[in-house]
Structure 1
Amino acid sequence: MDSIKIDQLFERYFPSLHQEFQLKEFQKNVISNIIDGNNSLCIMPTGGGKSLIYWLSGLALEGITVVISPLIALIDEQSEKIREQGYEVLTIHGGVNAKKQVDLLKRFSKRELNPDFIFVSPERISTDGFFEHCIAIRKDDIKLIAIDEVHCVSQWGVSFRPFYKRIPVFMNEIYGVESWGPKILALTATLNSKEVVEICDEFKIRKENVIKDEQLMRTEINLKVLKFKDENEKEEKFWDLLNIHKDEKVLVYLYRKYHQRGVEDLTEMAIEKGYKAVAFHGDMSATERQKIIQAYKEDEVNVVFATNAFGMGIDIPDIRVVIHFMMPESVEQYYQEIGRAARDKGAANAYILYTNKNIQVKKTHFIDKSFPSIEALDTVFTKITGNQKKLKTLQYYDDDEVQKCLSYFLESGLISIECKGASNLKMLSDIQNDQLKEVFDSTKTKSFIKSVSNTGRSPKQIVDLIFSSVASDEVKLVKNIDKCLIINPNYEQIPVEKKEDLQQYISERKQYKHNLLDYFVYLLDESSDSRQLHQEIGNYLGVPKHKLNRIYATSKGDKVRSKSEVIIANLLYEHNVDYEYEKKLLYSAHKWIEPDFTIRMKDGREIYWEHLGMIGVESYDKRWKEKLEIYRTHFPNQLEVTYEGTMISDSTKKMLEKLQLI
């Protein structure tokens, strides 16, 4: 679908937003790719407008969009924003009353609710059988699955969340293994090449449908690297920085919640020093964290000390300072987290403070301990299975150790998930469905596992009976359906060869993460200034080399190479001129040039505007001579030129007058 049609769709579905700003070409490319029927992976910088991509893509496909998002706060924020545009939204997460969730899903399954968007967490998708049942009823109405923060899928990444890996299993359950009905749109800000391959494999995305914004660099954020001999020297500098930025919105990343120089400890010290400070970490309830985010937005507090629980998708436009008091694990994590700053595109500062000790502690206390030991896997396997090969119910959310180990059991084939069910049938009453009544009466204890044994029905058959009866009001719930996995151990104990495989698997991932950290430290040590560090990170993230010097932001949101080009671009934007910066211009098969500005005239013609900033430099003159010959041969009468000088604004306005654009 071409750019003009995308603009027409934007105006149709979002008339008020269309009046405020223009879609970026990158956004249009992703939207077009989805509408044309391609599963897509979209990699774009934080604050780049990814939510609008799945909003418009989903509406253009004329069906329901399911958005899988990692945080309740983010789900609620996005839900509210799309409701403000006049669209109906269904949100399902732990912050919504359980009885209300069942009622909403029942109404959805009966088509009494017809939302444009459904927001849900990966954990909900992976453990809530009633949600899956109701989605299956209306599977043909769902046209798009948008997976936000998709980097959490990759086991090689620092943000791995095991139940992101279960999203493809959910899709297989609903649609079958061979072909999924809805299109897939996976979105994130940073991925390395290994993670891209894994995500494409998981979500049936072809290589040509990986769409990466060439402007991943956030050069409006000034990067400052500060290395110290010890922690005392580092902390002294930290308080100096906080004092310098006393009246600005500051985000401090720590990773450790408690103990000396952890989130809680430094928050208390900051409050004692008179700062409007607050702690933020994963042990807080969703409600508590949402209140903190709101207070931060409204300047009731201006310093947040946080673990990486403060991150993905939290949209606060005016954070001016990010301080890493502790070392991130990788380039990707660092760039994700500094991306919390300057979402309004204003200037910001990001400081990273570290010692050699921090690097070693990050490896031994954070990276290594994020993996279970073989002994821990053995213990948890016994806890889950009782060392028996028979069906079990598993309350996944009740045990941190189980959450840490279960994905390893599933990946290695030690345990299979039969279905998403319930631990017992005691929540059922007034059963009108005869088949379910038979199951219910088959056991005095109402044990789910006993019901399977006594009736000869499979676990999946029984949960389908339960959920279909709930959806059709053939049964009443006296209490909420508990979120329970029905598992089938494939071994009584972990075999020796499986332990060896698991040990190798874990060792490989530990070493990989150590290498990511070592490379990040290398970049910090070797980069002399903010510009070089941005460019090294951009190169690592796959930004084409000739794009690395595009560091100056324009009013339109483009990044250009010089301050003179900023002036030209801003005047074009100010006068509503339809232009693209450095758009590829083919002049023969597989050969192209990139004009500084491609101007679309009102009569449909294109004019190519080159600003010559370095005339007189031999190498520059040589390249320009070659380019000029291409224009004269292939694009006669379409070239316009301006030159570097102190009167660039005047020469730009004269050019606009000549072209009758003002």
Structure 2
Amino acid sequence: MSKLQILEDYFGHSGFRPLQEEVVDAILAQQDVLMILPTGGGKSLCYQLPTLLMDGVTVVVSPLLALMHDQVTALKANGISAAMLSSMQTQEESHQIESELKAGRIKLLYVAPERLLNPYFLGFLEQLSINFFVIDEAHCVSEWGHEFREHYRGLSLLKERFPQTPIAAFTATATKVVEEDIAANLRLHAPKRVRGSLFRSNLTVQAQHRIKDGRDQLLEFLKSHQNSAGIIYTLSRKQTESVAHFLQTKGIEAHAYHAGLSTEEKNRTYKAFVEDKVQIVVATIAFGMGIDKSNIRFVVHLSLPKTLENYYQEIGRAGRDGLDSETLLLFSAQDIVQQKSFIEALPDTPYKQHAFDKLDAMVRFANSESCRHQSIAAYFDDRIEACGEKCDNCTATEIQRVDITEASRKLLSSIYRTGQNFGLHYIIDVLRGSREQRVLQNAHDKITVYGIGEEFSRNQWLTIGDKLLELGAVELGEFKVYRLTPFGVEVLKGAHTIEIKKERLSMQKAAPKRRVTFFDDYDAELFDKLRDLRAEIAEVNGIPPYIVFSDKTLKDLSAKKPVSKEEMLEVHGIGEVKYERYGEAFLTLLQEQ
């Protein structure tokens, strides 16, 4: 079979996406490969297809059991023999897979790096005919990346033990420094390097200063994503549970996911999410790396991620099927202080300064008023045009600013006159003339700044405090006590003008957004019927619905409405194998319409 025939029959595509064929050809030519391509760009196909044209088995190193399981399930649904060896299997099951490998009946074997470095397993691999190794999530190799894993560093021994076997390394994100580190550590020999554009044209990217805990902003955002799958990222385990509970009280089906839950509970939530039985997962970053669910329509961050690499990978989990999806980042200056405190706790090494630099880049991105997509691309040494309509900065009308110098001086003066020993909420109580018992006990109702800030609401003063923290006019001490910095003293003395975006201070409700929709060009009612049928078939087969057919395939079916096998095979994502397994049921439904 030719590579195009395999592409059509097994994967249901009539042509390659950009850069895929280049990598497939390099692997077929026995070259080492290093591919950097955004999530949703089609990296997996680049190594899954060529192995079908080669003798031997492909060994895929992957960091997460859930990801390996999803990939193996999807490959089997496409009629490709695949297996994983992990702690999830019994000894009997492992022996059975080893026997099938020796007999040459498996084309793709997925393993974790820990297993690959096991002396017994390395010895076992030497008995097999391996056509090439795949290192997935290859950024984990680099100490300069954002998810360094010690066992990945050990993969350098592959070239020692298997010097003639090519290696293909794949990742969604890598700066030039990380790219060089991956190539050097894996000892790649003159690798074919392929770097795709960072621009995800189907993703709308937004960032907003968080108002209080951000929950009102979150609810406003979710209004345009009813019945859609999404992930909400928080900074702590406790916050995942409280946000999930909050959403449940609003009638929104949401489950918490974090490392502190039992394995059984985590697996149950993960399974319910990929099977479309739970719409929203509220999670720490422990959830989602490599998640293979294609129809995630939105990703929300309720606090600032520590790096742009983390952020880009996490938002990349939305819209893997190519359909319009939306992302929202809510952040405050307190997030920055918290992230800096995490870094301060690290040992003094060159990595520590590197972590501060990465955080600074994340802060610049969040506060930026230029194209979001362009900013992300520039960080990864990619140059693109401004997106025009796929980020909040490009679609914003002219930004109006207001002078808050006088208000800033009032706030700074209140911090100073209360002895720089209190948190922001207390300072605001003093400013607004509160009769709180603590204020009266401290006799702060007698000082000159008491009650001089009644022109602003509590939320507006919190925003002004946040702005001063961003500018470095104040700093947070122990127990979140606010103190003046030398720059803050200069502001207090009238040496600087302070401005803020008008919309940020006005605390208006977010303007109603145009709902992200992809029902413009096909029959939405038919799409829902097809989706119900997909859920039934998935239930019977014990697999996630998106493995039967993706949302993109259902969209294409409800637009083209094929009435024969030949017409079905023209639909995106339906090849011979998928048609034989699931096509008849869908064809029957379509013929009845």
TM tier relative to shorter chain: 0.5 to 0.7
Question: Can you give the 5+ residue segments of structure 2 that lack an aligned partner in the other structure?
Answer: 391-520, 522-593
Q: Identical aligned pairs, as a percentage?
A: 28
Q: 2:121 aligns with which of 123, 127, 131?
A: 131
Q: 1:533 aligns with which of 372, 375, 393?
A: 372
Q: Partner of 2:582 in structure 1?
A: none
**Cα distance in 1 between the residues matched to 2:289 and 2:125:** 26
Q: Partner of 2:439 in structure 1?
A: none
Check if 1:9 corresponds to 2:26: no
Please list the CA deviations of residues 447-492 of structure 1 after superposition, one character each: whole Å capped at 9, or x if unmatched. xxxxxxxxxxxxxxxxxxxxxxxxxxxxxxxxxxxxxxxxxxxxxx
Q: Partner of 2:553 in structure 1?
A: none
Question: Can you give the 5+ residue segments of structure 1 that lack an aligned partner in the other structure?
Answer: 1-6, 374-502, 554-569, 571-662
**Cα distance in 1 between the residues matched to 2:356 and 2:265:** 34
Residues 314-333 of structure 1: matches in 2 within 5 Å? 314-333=291-310
Q: Partner of 2:568 in structure 1?
A: none
Check if 1:181 corresponds to 2:161: no
Q: Partner of 1:548 in structure 2?
A: 385
**Cα distance in 2 between the residues matched to 1:368 and 1:58:** 47
For the 8 Å contact 2:156–2:186, the answer to whether it is kept is: yes
For the 8 Å contact 2:82–2:107, the answer to whether it is kept is: yes
Please list the CA deviations of residues 175-212 of structure 1 after superposition, one character each: whole Å capped at 9, or x if unmatched. 3xxxx221111011111111111001012235662210
Residues 494-533 of structure 1: matches in 2 within 5 Å? 503=348, 507-528=349-370, 532-533=371-372
Q: Partner of 1:587 in structure 2?
A: none
Query: Residues 119 and 220 from structure 1, CA distance in 2 versus in 1: closer, same or farther, beyond 3 angstroms?
Result: same
TM-score, normalised by the number of residues in structure 1? 0.55
Alignment coverage as a number of residue pairs? 391
Q: Partner of 2:200 in structure 1?
A: 218
**Cα distance in 1 between the residues matched to 2:73 and 2:230:** 26
**Cα distance in 1 between the residues matched to 2:12 and 2:226:** 37
Q: Partner of 2:134 in structure 1?
A: 146
Q: Partner of 1:305 in structure 2?
A: 282
Q: Partner of 1:203 in structure 2?
A: 186
In the alignment, residue 105 of structure 2 is paired with which amino acid?
N
Residues 75-474 of structure 1: matches in 2 within 5 Å? 75-105=68-98, 107=99, 111-112=102-103, 114-126=105-117, 128-138=118-128, 141-172=129-160, 174-175=161-162, 180-205=163-188, 209-213=192-196, 215-228=197-210, 231-232=212-213, 234-258=214-238, 262-284=239-261, 288-365=265-342, 367-369=343-345, 371=346, 373=347
**Cα distance in 1 between the residues matched to 2:18 and 2:307:** 30
Query: Residues 271 and 20 from structure 1, CA distance in 2 versus in 1: closer, same or farther, beyond 3 angstroms?
Result: same
DSSP 3-state at the match of 2:40:
coil
**Cα distance in 1 between the residues matched to 2:74 and 2:279:** 24
Cα offset for 1:18? 6.0
**Cα distance in 1 between the residues matched to 2:54 and 2:85:** 22
DSSP 3-state at the match of 2:45:
helix
Query: Residues 286 and 217 from structure 1, CA distance in 2 versus in 1: closer, same or farther, beyond 3 angstroms?
Result: farther
Cα offset for 1:241? 2.8
DSSP 3-state at the match of 2:76:
helix
Cα offset for 1:42? 0.5
Cα offset for 1:14? 4.5
For the 8 Å contact 1:263–1:306, the answer to whether it is kept is: yes
Q: Partner of 1:45 in structure 2?
A: 38
Query: Residues 62 and 254 from structure 1, CA distance in 2 versus in 1: closer, same or farther, beyond 3 angstroms?
Result: same
For the 8 Å contact 1:223–1:533, the answer to whether it is kept is: yes
**Cα distance in 2 between the residues matched to 1:39 and 1:71:** 23
Residues 595-634 of structure 1: matches in 2 within 5 Å? none
Q: Partner of 2:445 in structure 1?
A: none
Which structure exhibits the higher relative contact order, with contacts defined as CA atoms closer than 8 Å and separated by 6 or more residues?
A: 2
**Cα distance in 2 between the residues matched to 1:242 and 1:32:** 43
Cα offset for 1:246? 3.9
DSSP 3-state at the match of 2:3:
helix
For the 8 Å contact 1:200–1:207, the answer to whether it is kept is: no
For the 8 Å contact 1:67–1:118, the answer to whether it is kept is: yes
For the 8 Å contact 1:108–1:134, the answer to whether it is kept is: no
**Cα distance in 2 between the residues matched to 1:76 and 1:286:** 15
Query: Residues 521 and 308 from structure 1, CA distance in 2 versus in 1: closer, same or farther, beyond 3 angstroms?
Result: same
**Cα distance in 1 between the residues matched to 2:49 and 2:37:** 17
Cα offset for 1:15? 4.4
DSSP 3-state at the match of 2:19:
helix
DSSP 3-state at the match of 2:132:
strand
